[in-house]
Structure 1
């Protein structure tokens, strides 16, 4: 199951943040993968400590499978040296459904173990993560599907969801032009059987409280991704296109759209210092 959700991100900024993302992969293919993400999170203080809470919903269709994840997130935050360390957990449920109506195996290949009608199942799902932000760099580590749930689907079928490890990091490079900064980063994903590494370079242009960015990512033996986006006032919009380097071809790439909305929250009635953050989805 795809998706990268680090629960330590919950309440990462001092604002209420609502995020949404949509992805259409392998454009032009029948039953091509599609995914949708929705999340909301906010910070709060309790007993003089900083915390964060969030909620997320992920919906994914891959071929004949449909996967859904719902999770509640909590994070604890602590000032460490010049940066902030966040440690988070996510608890929820995942639902997996299989629809065999779009394939025809014929009577001769009938197998009692193969479902002939829609089957689905649900299981508990847990994830953990940590995230450290520094004025010059950031790093994150998370494990999704930590409990390695086995989802029972009908009477004769089950689906094992293996834990997946994510490791990410990036560095902010200042240029001679104070309006322009560079950010190289990487994302490693591994289920202990296969490992994938994406390397990204982005350019950010800050002007009058507006942020514009463009970037390129490379996934060895898989794809090259081009991305653009802008943050104007409280709204961030981004678009990315994956151009596959394999024989699939450039015309059957993947489209990703990201929308993020942030608004100030102030339960205490006192003003707070604002800061900018580039959020990873």
Structure 2
């Protein structure tokens, strides 16, 4: 593969032909390639020096990647392989055509309620699959969700690399690896993440899907973090107030007051939806 970006971040993987760069972040470059089998494949090439990583940590990353790949869940972008080449850690993934949910919401606006709830349930179910094999997402946000051409959703980036970023020195142990608009209060004060941390981010996404903007916004990082930690949970508009208990259960400031699992979120969503439908049929 020959490209200016690959001159800076070389990657020699036989059988892959570079097509273009899909994205570049602080810690990785995302490349679209064609494999020799004729299929498009996405390669995530991490920028940090993999030589500082222990064999045990790299092996764990590869095993977790393969475990996710075996799930073959429609709500997840499936990893295909992982390893080290040209001194860099990489992961190959299936190529999913579509746009990010963030871009879709920015260009198309707030979706109809039925579509918003369907998407929310799809995201929750996919998150539950990740949690079911003992993993956390840790960076759940609309830009890590792909809207396929058939309008179904698929989650990207499963938080596998967080430990590697710390071990390589790319990220400090006390740094928060997530997006401030989706950060949970406990992460702000340095507590370790768990499933409920992901569920808080899920609550932010629910609000975005229903209302069209994030529950907490600010021009400064300090003020944004303060709102996540201390500001009241926003009230939904009157026509959406039936879903307030669901939002409250996701955006609770303390993890112990939050909904405790993705399964619990789906059950509450279904209960609320059933009450809404029952009320509609009686009117």
Q: Per the shorter chain, which TM-score range?
A: under 0.3
Q: Which has the higher strand share?
A: 1
Which of the two has higher C-alpha Rg?
1
* Higher relative contact order structure (alpha carbons within 8 Å, sequence separation ≥ 6): 1
Q: Which has the higher helix share?
A: 2
